[in-house]
């Protein structure tokens, strides 16, 4: 049969936050290529003959290069298999899905994208934080926190800023934003393990959150929310443990 | 029984882009309060005794005030009903979900939020546009296009900017961004009716898209994508009709 690749955005972690279409593609799959942040509990529901390829980490704990992931997707599809590439969140939001689509297209492999619930918005929601809210924020910017960020421009935004993958850079991120003119009193919330049983929220301000996070041992995966919405009270989320 | 309200993000329009949890809450609902942009085909699957309240438009074609929507949610929940508030996209992304949650909390009504696939990211994906892409964009900003925008700051962002609800303001949005220093050659794509059978994509640049959109009669609902990713070739989407 004709192999194909489907990129499935797996959502923020709980299996039932997958889309119906994503779940159906998984049920039809011959091969599932998964990431570390994918909702891996869904793998337990696969038929035993489905091949699961974990590209979240190599045996020596290094990330699998993107080119190698592309090669795996193409190779299985060319062998006639229905391949699902399952990631956390949405494949096109800092997920390198575009590269995988282009690699498939270049190899003549049919490819489909099933969007997912992005962790950038759903993880704050799990802690009771709406990324936009009347009177507080009319925009939201999502940026990777583990690369150099344009703090000068981010500091000028009056809306919410969400950092993915930024925990290790937190002290510098906060310092750079304050140096660029963002008030040190700007609320910040860090949500670890969103939608998972060990979800934990740490709150503070740009001025004090780095110290608080260090004291509490905040670790990735975590989503960092900067802006007035992070200080909103009364919308506590699904598992709002303030620790 | 104890009434409650669940805000369900309905995703960009197709029924199977709902989450499993959202679909389950709908199946359990006594009352469904829907918006114009919700995936209304899902209503056909409800039991006939489920009450559907359409707050997308009043009989005289004005939007139902948010306070009235809040009142409807609270009233039904207090009467012991399981209420689903179904919207397009995600309730917390320019969807006023936070206001509804606060209204329920203030009234002592139990409320839950089920995140959805945001149209801000999924509608570009339907046209083959990843909102982030290596070498082109490392951030994405979502902003309402029908309010005053901070064009000076948006023009400084080197990532993608997505405008929701901006079609009527398009000429001014583009002019303001160019006046603020964003190159007139910046790619722009407008995706109408994303994930629906009549999806249509219009492409151009900040300098020419307003004229092109007027000529083609582009109308809401539409998502406007500004940035290099809007010019990316080779990722054509699910129903990429360039008209």
Whether residues A135 and A216 fall in one domain: yes
Measuring CA to CA, which residue among A71, A16, A9, A14 is closest to residue A35?
A9
Whether residues B125 and B213 fall in one domain: yes
Q: Determine contact: B167 vs chain A, CB below 8 A.
A: no
**pLDDT score of A10 more than 80:** yes
**pLDDT score of B40 more than 90:** no
What is the pLDDT averaged over residues B92-111?
Answer: 96
pLDDT level of residue A240 (50, 70, 90 thresholds): very low
What is the pLDDT averaged over residues A60-70?
Answer: 89
Residue A21 lies in a domain: yes
What is the pLDDT averaged over residues B51-61?
Answer: 83
Whether residues A66 and A136 fall in one domain: no
Residue B243 lies in a domain: no
pLDDT level of residue A243 (50, 70, 90 thresholds): very low
Token pair 């546009």 in the structure block, residue: B129
What would the 3-class secondary structure string for A125-156 be? HHCCCCCCECCCECEEEEEECCCCCCHHHHHH
Measuring CA to CA, which residue among A131, A126, A77, A86 is closest to residue A105?
A77
| Least confident range of A1-5, B58-62, B81-85, B213-217 | B58-62
pLDDT digits (tens, 9 = 90+) for B114-135: 999 999 999 999 999 999 999 9
Residue A69 lies in a domain: yes
Q: Is A87 among the residues known to form the active site?
A: no
What is the pLDDT averaged over residues A149-167?
Answer: 95
Q: Determine contact: A196 vs chain B, CB below 8 A.
A: no
Residues of chain A numbered 137-166 and touching chain B (CB < 8 Å):
138-144, 147, 149-150, 152-153, 156-159
Whether residues A164 and A135 fall in one domain: yes
Q: What CATH number did the domain enclosing A138 receive?
A: 3.30.950.10
Q: What CATH number did the domain enclosing B33 receive?
A: 3.40.1010.10
Residue A91 lies in a domain: yes
pLDDT at position B1, please?
65
Catalytic residue among A30, A90, A165, A176: A165
Whether residues A129 and A143 fall in one domain: yes
Whether residues B65 and B21 fall in one domain: yes
What is the pLDDT averaged over residues B13-40?
Answer: 94
pLDDT at position A152, please?
96
Give just the sign of the alpha carbon dihedral B217, B140, A23, B9.
negative
What is the pLDDT averaged over residues B201-214?
Answer: 98
Whether residues A89 and A126 fall in one domain: no
**pLDDT score of A239 more than 70:** no
pLDDT level of residue A126 (50, 70, 90 thresholds): very high
d(CA B111, CA B7): 8
Contacts of B235 in chain A (CB under 8 A): 98, 101-102, 105
Q: Name the 3-class secondary structure at A232.
A: coil
d(CA B6, CA A59): 43
The distance of A189 to chain B (nearest Cα, Å) reads 16
Q: Determine contact: A201 vs chain B, CB below 8 A.
A: no
Residue B237 lies in a domain: no
Whether residues A65 and A23 fall in one domain: yes
Domain boundary among B80, B114, B148: B114
Q: How many CB pairs under 8 A join A and B?
A: 191
Average per-residue pLDDT for chain A: 93
pLDDT at position A241, please?
44
For residue B8, the chain A residue with the least C-alpha distance is A17
**pLDDT score of A228 more than 50:** yes
pLDDT at position B238, please?
56
The distance of B231 to chain A (nearest Cα, Å) reads 13
Domain boundary among B49, B82, B114: B114
Angle between helix axes A209-216 and A170-179 (nearest 10 degrees) is 170
Q: Determine contact: A122 vs chain B, CB below 8 A.
A: yes
pLDDT digits (tens, 9 = 90+) for A197-210: 899 999 999 999 99
pLDDT level of residue A233 (50, 70, 90 thresholds): confident
CB A148 within 8 A of CB A42: no
**pLDDT score of A108 more than 70:** yes
What is the tally of structural domains in chain A?
2
Contacts of B182 in chain A (CB under 8 A): none
* A134, A159, B220 from B66: Cα distances, Å: 11, 21, 21
Whether residues B140 and B174 fall in one domain: yes
Residues of chain B numbered 16-55 and touching chain A (CB < 8 Å):
16-21, 23-24
pLDDT at position A238, please?
56
Domain containing A109 equals 4-114
Residue B90 lies in a domain: yes
The distance of B140 to chain A (nearest Cα, Å) reads 5
Residue A238 lies in a domain: no
Residue A143 lies in a domain: yes
Whether residues A125 and A95 fall in one domain: no
pLDDT digits (tens, 9 = 90+) for B181-194: 999 999 999 999 99
Whether residues B58 and B10 fall in one domain: yes
pLDDT at position A237, please?
61
To test the contact with chain B by mutation, choose from A9, A14, A98 the residue with the greatest count of B C-beta atoms within 10 A, namely: A98
Whether residues A135 and A214 fall in one domain: yes
Sequence-distant (6+) residues with CB within 8 A of B92 are: A121, A124, A125, A130, A131, A132, A133, B9, B98, B113, B115
pLDDT digits (tens, 9 = 90+) for B149-161: 999 999 999 999 9
**pLDDT score of A139 more than 70:** yes
pLDDT at position A2, please?
85
Domain boundary among B114, B141, B157: B114
Sequence-distant (6+) residues with CB within 8 A of B44 are: none
């Amino acid at each position: 049969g004709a192999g194909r690749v489907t990129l499935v955005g797996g959502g923020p972690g709980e299996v039932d936050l997958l889309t119906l279409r994503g779940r159906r593609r998984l049920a039809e799959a011959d091969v599932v290529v998964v990431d570390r942040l994918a909702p891996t509990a869904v793998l337990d529901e696969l038929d035993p003959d489905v091949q699961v390829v974990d590209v979240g980490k190599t045996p020596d704990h290094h990330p699998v290069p993107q080119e190698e992931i592309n090669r795996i997707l193409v190779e299985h599809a060319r062998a006639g298999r229905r391949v699902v590439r399952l990631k956390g969140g949405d494949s096109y939001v800092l997920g390198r899905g575009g590269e995988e689509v282009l690699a498939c297209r270049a190899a003549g492999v049919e490819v489909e994208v099933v969007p997912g619930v992005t962790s950038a918005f759903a993880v704050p929601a799990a802690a009771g934080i709406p990324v936009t809210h009347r009177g507080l924020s009319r925009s939201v910017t999502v940026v990777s926190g583990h690369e150099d960020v344009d703090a000068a421009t981010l500091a000028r935004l009056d809306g919410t800023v969400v950092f993915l993958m930024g925990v290790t850079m937190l002290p510098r991120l906060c310092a750079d934003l304050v140096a660029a003119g963002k008030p040190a009193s700007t609320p910040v919330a860090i949500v670890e393990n969103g939608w998972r049983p060990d979800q934990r929220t740490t709150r503070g301000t740009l001025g004090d959150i780095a110290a608080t996070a260090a004291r509490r041992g905040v670790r990735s995966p975590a989503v960092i929310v900067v802006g007035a919405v992070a200080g909103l009270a009364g919308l506590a989320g699904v598992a709002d443990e303030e620790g």
